[in-house]
């Protein structure tokens, strides 16, 4: 029988690793693709069984490297799930955004998802599989990081474009939009301000930030058969952030219930 393969890009990071581990529940093989090959090796070792969790060195912004990733997947089975998770933000204002930052953030957070999807689309047709794009609340509202946010907003539209054009092949396409997740991506900002997570927590209705397993559970749901009729959506995993802010509701209503 043909093995079902999941690809998780950026899988050496905290969110990617949690997603890879969770997708191992119902895929035969999970490829942990990351530009940092040492970190990908370490992540795969940490999760377990080296025949099922396979590290792959890949730069998702490079079409040749992505083609090699697709070939590595084809050698192990048929891709049923593609998770475009590799991403990074420059924490700058629009005024500070250079053309280089603009292009680099768009290449990694948007174009790479297009390259990866096109590289495995035939396998997704064969498996009637699905794509899950890891977007961000930054793609829905303005929370800083302009180039990254524009790319994530584009990624939400790419999610819908795939859903509409490829639905006839049984391919589903969905996105998850996490709020703040404490990962290595925050290291520099946490070093400047050790209170950064405490300060962020205040704006979240659930009064906590998101953890990598929260994101992984949502990806697992969207990639699985329980979501068989769900395509083209963005599922915020944001502890209520994009629903509104209690503090502002308290000011507007002057009610102590908020």
148 belongs to the catalytic site: yes
CA distances from 5 to 53, 70, 245 (A): 10, 11, 40
CA dihedral 42→104→112→19, nearest 10 degrees, is 40
CA distances from 16 to 53, 90, 132 (A): 12, 19, 12
Q: How far is the CB of 258 from ligand NAD (least distance, A)?
A: 25
Q: How far is the CB of 251 from ligand NAD (least distance, A)?
A: 26
Q: With respect to ligand NAD, which residue has the nearer C-beta, 124 or 134?
A: 134
Single out the catalytic residue among 152, 166, 168, 258.
152
Q: Helices H, strands E: what count in the chain?
A: 10, 7
Tally Cβ neighbours within 10 Å of residue 252.
Answer: 10
SS3 141: coil
Q: How far is the CB of 146 from ligand NAD (least distance, A)?
A: 14
Q: With respect to ligand NAD, which residue has the nearer C-beta, 187 or 250?
A: 187
Token readout for 205 is 């209705």
Single out the catalytic residue among 42, 64, 148, 168.
148
Q: How far is the CB of 10 from ligand NAD (least distance, A)?
A: 3
> Would you tell me which residues interact with ligand NAD (CB under 6 A)?
9-10, 12-16, 34-36, 39, 58-61, 85-88, 108, 134, 136, 178, 180-181, 183-185
List, by residue number, the catalytic residues: 148, 152
């Amino acid at each position: 029988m043909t093995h079902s393969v999941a690809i998780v890009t950026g899988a050496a990071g905290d969110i990617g690793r949690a997603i890879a581990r969770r997708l191992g529940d119902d895929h035969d093989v999970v490829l942990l693709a990351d530009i940092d090959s040492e970190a990908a090796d370490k992540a795969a070792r940490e999760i377990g069984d080296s025949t099922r969790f396979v590290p792959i060195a890949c730069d998702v912004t490079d079409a040749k490297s992505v083609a090699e990733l697709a070939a590595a997947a084809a050698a192990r089975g048929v891709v049923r799930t593609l998770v475009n998770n590799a991403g990074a933000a420059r924490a700058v204002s629009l005024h500070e955004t250079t053309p280089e930052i603009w292009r680099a953030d768009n290449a990694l957070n948007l174009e790479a998802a297009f390259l990866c999807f096109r590289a495995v689309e035939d396998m997704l047709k064969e498996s009637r599989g699905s794509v899950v794009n890891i977007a961000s609340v930054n793609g829905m509202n303005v929370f800083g990081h302009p180039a990254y946010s524009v790319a994530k907003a584009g990624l939400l539209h790419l999610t819908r474009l795939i859903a509409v054009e490829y639905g006839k092949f049984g391919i589903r396409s969905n996105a998850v939009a996490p709020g703040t997740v404490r990962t290595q991506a925050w290291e520099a900002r946490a070093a400047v301000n050790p209170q950064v997570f405490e300060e962020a927590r205040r704006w979240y209705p659930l009064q906590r930030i998101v953890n990598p397993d929260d994101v992984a559970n949502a990806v697992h749901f969207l990639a699985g058969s329980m979501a068989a009729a769900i395509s083209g959506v963005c599922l915020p995993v944001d502890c209520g952030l994009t629903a509104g802010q209690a503090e502002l509701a308290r000011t507007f209503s002057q009610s102590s219930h908020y």
